[in-house]
Structure 1
Amino acid sequence: MILYRTTNLDFTRFFKNTLSGINVAFGAEHRYENYKIIAGEEASYANYGNAINVGTTANPVLIPDFKGNLSTRFAANGAALTGGAQGFPGFSADNAINVNRSSVAAYGDVEVNFTEKFLVDGAVRFENYSDFGSTLNFKVAGRYKFSDKFLLRAAVSSGFRAPSLQQRYFNATSTVFIDGAFVESGTFANDSRVAQLLGIPNLKEETSNSYSAGFTSNLGKVKITVDGYLIRIDNRVIYTGGFTGSNAATASAQDREIYTILRQANASTARFFANAVNTETKGIDAVISYSTGLGKGTLRTDLAGTISKTTLVGGINTSPLLAGKESIYLDEASVILLTKVVPRLKGNLTFDYTLDKFNVFLRNVYFGKVSQPTNVIANRQELPGRVITDLGLGYNLTKNLKLTVGANNIFDVYPAELLVGSQGTSGQLYPNQAPQFGFLGRYVFTRINVNF
């Protein structure tokens, strides 16, 4: 459970007689955040098949203890049974937390119209977090209007994002589907004992620099907008791969302790939020709109497209204790999640025809190819692009009441099926980590819109 309380005080004034107009704004903000995890019912998280040995190796005496490091209940395949509710076990007393933080901020913004054609906007924001210190960020933007038909614009800015309280303190065990198998995976906080044993660095803030430039053009019936952008994020927070321990006779004391901690959490792997990598995203967004009379009605056509690419920049942000474990800290599945699970190419072609009280729309959306996150080479798979078609018919019953009937994905298109190795025994046919588009097929709807 998370609670936010935000208080703002803002001032603004426009000086119309200075140059071609100057707008000045400034203000302050106070923000309070509180995050709680409350322990649930014992049966929702306890593994009653665990025990501790109070005897000797030769003459064991097992005492039931759901935090014990010995299993006494096994499945038909010999695997130890897990405890608690399946899918997402309840929170235990060890998971319970109650943390908070606050921040204060002040900002100023000046927008100067040097002429009717030339505008420059500058803004700064200072913010102090009770747990991450202070940051000062800026934005500068400009616009030049060559004519009523053509306008250029550009912007540059810096950014700061403190890790959320959930990323810092969330800890729980859940069942996750990885490479065709269900795994009991524990998420541990960065100040936990297992994080210290592995050398997981403490979370720190993400910083960014953004650059964009583009133009808009109004050619009467045709309107065109094109923007390009570059975003660099340093110390980006990711979700690590799964670390394991060991209770083998040859295991180190470190691995034995990790194994015991995971057992107590009913988990077989440990994962963390970490500032593991720097990324760079480049892209272009374009929209072309065309409106014309057709018969007694009006036809509007919109063609929009996005091309983007995210890449890793530099090496992995790690620590000495993680030497040799970089491929777990930032595993291949995490790299794919960062760079290939969102379509690099997406297009949208929409036709909307209006006639008196009626309107009909036809929308075709192309979702480009994506890749399924996996650490198993044999399961690596590129999912091909798909076109999804939506159709709807609307009628204005009154000035304020509109009825629409239609269907999304009218041709009942599904993503490509996962390879057999990725499906495992779960029957998961479609990707659940590469959100190209949904896998529920056709959706028929009736909608009523009321405007007051």
Structure 2
Amino acid sequence: MVLFTLSAGTLKAQFTLRGKVAAEENSRLIEGATITLNPVHKMTKSTADGSFVLTGLKTGEYQLEVSSVGLGKYTKTIKLTRDTIIKVMLADNSSNLNEVSISVGNRGKSRSIIKSAVPVQLISSQEIKTSGYTNTAELIQMLVPSFTQNRIVRGDGSETIRPSTMRGMGTDQMLVLVNGKRRHISAFLIADNTGVDLNAIPVSAIESIEVLKDGAAAIYGSDAIAGVINIILKKDTGGSVDVQSGITSRGDGFNTKIGIDKGFALKNNGVLNVAIQGLYAEKTVRAGADQRKQYFGTIKNAAGDVIFSDPVGDAKNAAYAANPKVTMIEGDPQKKVLGTMFNYSQPLKNEGKIYAFGGVNYNNTLNGSNRFRLPSDDGTVRSIYPDGFLARGKIVTTDYSFAGGYKQDFKSLGMMDASISMGGNSVQFNLLNSDNPSLGDKSPTNFYLGTHHFNQYAANLDFVKPLDQNKVYSLAYGAEFRVENYSIKAGEEASYIDGGVPILDGPNAGKRAPVGSQGYVGYRPSNEVDKSRNTSAVYAELTADFTKSFTVSAASRYEYYSDFGSTLNGKISARYEFIKGYAIRAAANTGFRAPSLQQSYFSQTQTNYTLDPAVGQIVSRENSTLPINSPAAIALGAQPLKPEKSYNVSAGLTALPVKNLFITADLYAVRVNDRIVRTSFFTTSNPLIKKLFSDYNIVGIQSARYFANAIDTRTQGIDIVAQYELHANDLGHFTFLASYNYNLLTIVGVHNPATLASLNETIFNAERVAATATKQNNFTMSIVHNLKGFTSSLRVYRAGELSNKYPIPEKVIGLNTMPALTTLDAEVSYLFKNKVRFGIGANNIFDKMPPLNDPSLSFNGNFKYYNGNNSQLGVTGAYYYAKLGYSF
């Protein structure tokens, strides 16, 4: 039912349409309802008190549409001749549950989640608002169990841009879209992969998030093997200011996030929405006390003879042993982040529309992932750091994006969308509080290490055309041209040069000193690259809605890459509603992922921690990733990279068994051949490798590796999602959401080149297998309750046991199982005077942490928690916060 009231104001050329949206059943005011006014293409969302405003309207006839998930959808013709006030009462309508249109998963007409032939999960604006998470990736993880992001604490960059995965597969096997357009990837390799920095998209700019949990390379191209995330930016004319501050239960990690968004109504029914978000976060420290002997002290040989006398060091060691200190960080880094996004659309008089969106994000991170250099370390210049030092990586990332286009319906060709887009990411590495021992007393303590750049430029021309009057058949087709560029710029000379100064003191005085800045050696001129490639594609998708109950879709995409050639992929999917409210769906597709330029040309030297079987302890080593075209890598068996090929099948059920209850369950299996990963480390403990390093002048390095099409994998699992809406009259409104994912990733093939076999090495040893082949199951359940201005939410998240598989009959200590952890998040807020909302909440209320580490795996006590780098929940513990929001 829609009620109208006309204001008594004087008639004028432009009018305002105001209104409130409420539930007919209990008069509950509806926040987040979608209000659309056509043919002027104006759209807004109802605010916390159910109100909305549309301005700049002329005299005329309009189609008003108001909808909200779980409630009815109404369309009404209204005639405006003056300012108008409307009250919209939405009836309970369970058939509308999950009827919100989604655009991901096909290029044709938008469909609802329940009518999609492939599994899609929608994160709504309400779920975003009731989350206490300050970045986009964590928000998705807490609501979509098949999506994971490990909160890495040691990574020389990946604690800044943390790797995100879908269904346990690679970061680069998941495609990210913004408003349906491909998002550029990070310039820096995250673990083995190059993925999108999701956190460069401010939460305050996001309207909703669509998560496709199925392969879609035949529709979108490279990378869409495990799934697709489509982030929808805000496009309404409302506005809000949100502030959140919090701290951990241990009193560190204080952070504050400020988000502002405002929509502007433009002439001729255009809309511009602008969002800006700032975040400051202090570091958290979760390392244990360092049990290592700090100073030289008196040193004796095997015969008991004193070979180095240091009574002062003996005294200092005795004092330290009585009171060992925390010398490392092992926690979240300090961050300063500022980002902005805009979203613009402008209808034209010829019934076309221009649009544009984009943004900039700046992230300044100060990490502590390096090991503490002891006073007795040969890498310590003791005249500068008499008590040792902890080098801190300062990583500055800058991210930009822009897309613009034009849409118009050309009847003979279909609805056209012509667009261009560009985006880029740069990662600048700096090292603070370090030294270059080969420069001796004159070594600087701060270093510029170098910068990685990645840029992407794309042009797309897309059409969607009904093929018959009844719109049974529709064809989506188009073409894409894309250019990518990747470069590495060298750091300052002092960060990598061999200054020739020997070790100045201690038992090794006079010997050759370690070379380069300690903790992260700078990029040398020999590491510099500047490589580009282009790709062109044509694609088509035919969809047939034979009946309201039966839909079939087939897609194909041909793509050509200038650096490796062409590929042709296809997909077929179908949905059949066999009983009203119950449907089966299935899909099969082939896919591919092109090697990234970063994987082909990246090189780096860094500190890694690995288990040394000879001593049964975690040790640190200086390791190098070799570019695959380098002579040393070729001598180790490296070959030019080729695309990964995938084969994906899925089958599932959707059901509306009772009023307001929606359930989906989907089985899936994905085979990936020639998966690109970094190889095992080839270490100097093998005399043949030691000789090879010497032959190719690799100095100061204990091990090396490179990228290769080393393995074949098989991923199997199930996704289950259930949502229930309960309108409980005087008790308010409840939304229940539960999601479960079981995932098993198995390595089914290892491609070991003959060159490595002749060196008594394997390209992917048991340790790498253990870290890649995993079984896990994740579950999340949330309840959101609204009652007379109060909104409360509870969320349970279970990160299931993460266990490793060993197809190779060799077991590595400490890489067996990460036990399951279950956390509880809670928030309660109250709306004051229909505009201001204040709330308090907590994430991980019960302070769940990984188990304490085994002493043999703790790096002498420094790594306090077991396998903290692979924990989805990290090692932060409980986090408490307060938030304040104002809607206008």
With normalisation by structure 2, the TM-score equals 0.45
Q: How does 1:47-66 map to 2 (within 5 A)?
A: 47-48=498-499, 64=500
Supply the distance in 1 between the matched residues of 2:512 and 2:732 (Cα, whole angstroms).
68
Supply the distance in 2 between the matched residues of 1:244 and 1:445 (Cα, whole angstroms).
47
Distance change >3 Å, CA 399–CA 134, structure 1 → 2 = farther
Residue 347 (structure 1) aligned with residue 779 (structure 2): yes
Determine the structure 2 residue equivalent to 1:3: 455
The secondary structure found in structure 1 opposite 2:525 is coil
Supply the distance in 2 between the matched residues of 1:76 and 1:257 (Cα, whole angstroms).
29
The secondary structure found in structure 2 opposite 1:220 is coil
Per-residue deviation at 1:397? 4.7
Per-residue deviation at 1:368? 1.2
Supply the distance in 2 between the matched residues of 1:326 and 1:402 (Cα, whole angstroms).
65
Distance change >3 Å, CA 257–CA 312, structure 1 → 2 = closer
Q: How does 1:412-451 map to 2 (within 5 A)?
A: 412-425=847-860, 427-430=862-865, 431-448=867-884
Residue 131 (structure 1) aligned with residue 563 (structure 2): yes
The answer (yes or no) to whether the contact 2:682–2:761 under 8 Å persists in 1 is: no
Match of 1:86 among 518, 527, 531: 518
Q: How does 1:323-362 map to 2 (within 5 A)?
A: 323=757, 328-340=762-774, 344-362=776-794
> One-letter code of the match for 2:881?
F
The secondary structure found in structure 2 opposite 1:166 is helix
Distance change >3 Å, CA 77–CA 390, structure 1 → 2 = farther
The answer (yes or no) to whether the contact 1:143–1:152 under 8 Å persists in 2 is: yes
Residue 25 (structure 1) aligned with residue 476 (structure 2): yes
The secondary structure found in structure 1 opposite 2:875 is coil
Supply the distance in 2 between the matched residues of 1:282 and 1:376 (Cα, whole angstroms).
23
The answer (yes or no) to whether the contact 2:770–2:816 under 8 Å persists in 1 is: no
Determine the structure 1 residue equivalent to 2:594: 162
Per-residue deviation at 1:17? 2.2
The answer (yes or no) to whether the contact 1:372–1:433 under 8 Å persists in 2 is: no
Per-residue deviation at 1:356? 2.5
Paired residues, what number?
423
Q: How does 1:241-320 map to 2 (within 5 A)?
A: 241-245=680-684, 255-259=690-694, 261=696, 263-264=698-699, 266-294=700-728, 295-314=730-749, 316-320=750-754
> One-letter code of the match for 2:659?
G
Is there any run of 5+ residues in structure 2 with no aligned partner, and where?
A: 1-452, 612-617
- The more displaced of 206-215 and 147-156 is 147-156
| Identity fraction in percent | 31
- The more displaced of 8-17 and 223-232 is 8-17
The answer (yes or no) to whether the contact 2:766–2:812 under 8 Å persists in 1 is: no
Residue 211 (structure 1) aligned with residue 649 (structure 2): yes
Distance change >3 Å, CA 146–CA 380, structure 1 → 2 = closer
Q: How does 1:391-410 map to 2 (within 5 A)?
A: 391-397=826-832, 402-410=837-845
> One-letter code of the match for 2:723?
S
Supply the distance in 1 between the matched residues of 2:744 and 2:460 (Cα, whole angstroms).
37
The answer (yes or no) to whether the contact 1:345–1:368 under 8 Å persists in 2 is: yes
Distance change >3 Å, CA 354–CA 189, structure 1 → 2 = same
Determine the structure 1 residue equivalent to 2:756: 322
Determine the structure 2 residue equivalent to 1:183: 621
Supply the distance in 2 between the matched residues of 1:326 and 1:156 (Cα, whole angstroms).
41
Determine the structure 2 residue equivalent to 1:53: none
> One-letter code of the match for 1:336?
A
Match of 1:224 among 653, 660, 663: 663
Rg comparison, structure with higher value: 2
Per-residue deviation at 1:212? 0.6
The answer (yes or no) to whether the contact 2:717–2:743 under 8 Å persists in 1 is: yes
Supply the distance in 2 between the matched residues of 1:241 and 1:75 (Cα, whole angstroms).
35
Distance change >3 Å, CA 167–CA 322, structure 1 → 2 = same
Residue 42 (structure 1) aligned with residue 474 (structure 2): no
Per-residue CA shift, 1:209-251, capped at 9, x if unaligned? 10011011112132211011000000011111111348x9xx6
Distance change >3 Å, CA 436–CA 147, structure 1 → 2 = same
Per-residue CA shift, 1:167-219, capped at 9, x if unaligned? 01000101112232211110011111111111123211100010011011112
Residue 237 (structure 1) aligned with residue 689 (structure 2): no
Residue 199 (structure 1) aligned with residue 637 (structure 2): yes
Supply the distance in 1 between the matched residues of 2:885 and 2:508 (Cα, whole angstroms).
55
Per-residue deviation at 1:402? 4.5
> One-letter code of the match for 1:127?
E
Q: How does 1:357-368 map to 2 (within 5 A)?
A: 357-368=789-800
Per-residue deviation at 1:14? 2.4
> One-letter code of the match for 1:421?
S
Supply the distance in 2 between the matched residues of 1:373 and 1:211 (Cα, whole angstroms).
23
The secondary structure found in structure 1 opposite 2:881 is strand
Supply the distance in 2 between the matched residues of 1:76 and 1:348 (Cα, whole angstroms).
57
- The more displaced of 374-383 and 223-232 is 374-383
Determine the structure 1 residue equivalent to 2:818: 383
Per-residue deviation at 1:148? 3.7
The answer (yes or no) to whether the contact 1:28–1:107 under 8 Å persists in 2 is: yes
Distance change >3 Å, CA 147–CA 448, structure 1 → 2 = farther
How large is the RMSD of aligned CA atoms in angstroms? 2.8
Supply the distance in 1 between the matched residues of 2:610 and 2:461 (Cα, whole angstroms).
48
The secondary structure found in structure 2 opposite 1:418 is coil
> One-letter code of the match for 1:223?
F
Per-residue deviation at 1:125? 0.5
Supply the distance in 1 between the matched residues of 2:735 and 2:759 (Cα, whole angstroms).
55
> One-letter code of the match for 1:4?
Q
Is there any run of 5+ residues in structure 1 with no aligned partner, and where?
A: 49-63, 66-70
Distance change >3 Å, CA 36–CA 335, structure 1 → 2 = same
> One-letter code of the match for 1:284?
I
The answer (yes or no) to whether the contact 1:282–1:308 under 8 Å persists in 2 is: yes
Per-residue deviation at 1:127? 0.5
Distance change >3 Å, CA 257–CA 139, structure 1 → 2 = same
> One-letter code of the match for 1:217?
A
The secondary structure found in structure 2 opposite 1:377 is coil
Supply the distance in 2 between the matched residues of 1:189 and 1:110 (Cα, whole angstroms).
42
Supply the distance in 2 between the matched residues of 1:127 and 1:318 (Cα, whole angstroms).
29
Per-residue CA shift, 1:339-370, capped at 9, x if unaligned? 12xx6111112121111222111111111112
The secondary structure found in structure 2 opposite 1:10 is strand
- The more displaced of 327-336 and 364-373 is 364-373
Distance change >3 Å, CA 426–CA 205, structure 1 → 2 = farther
> One-letter code of the match for 2:877?
G
Distance change >3 Å, CA 155–CA 397, structure 1 → 2 = farther
Supply the distance in 2 between the matched residues of 1:403 and 1:107 (Cα, whole angstroms).
49
Per-residue CA shift, 1:132-184, capped at 9, x if unaligned? 10000011010112244111111101001111011010001011122322111
Supply the distance in 1 between the matched residues of 2:760 and 2:652 (Cα, whole angstroms).
39
With normalisation by structure 1, the TM-score equals 0.86
Supply the distance in 2 between the matched residues of 1:80 and 1:394 (Cα, whole angstroms).
63
Per-residue deviation at 1:307? 0.8
The answer (yes or no) to whether the contact 1:373–1:380 under 8 Å persists in 2 is: no
Distance change >3 Å, CA 403–CA 27, structure 1 → 2 = farther
The answer (yes or no) to whether the contact 2:752–2:762 under 8 Å persists in 1 is: no
Determine the structure 2 residue equivalent to 1:121: 553
The answer (yes or no) to whether the contact 2:608–2:622 under 8 Å persists in 1 is: yes
Determine the structure 1 residue equivalent to 2:802: 370
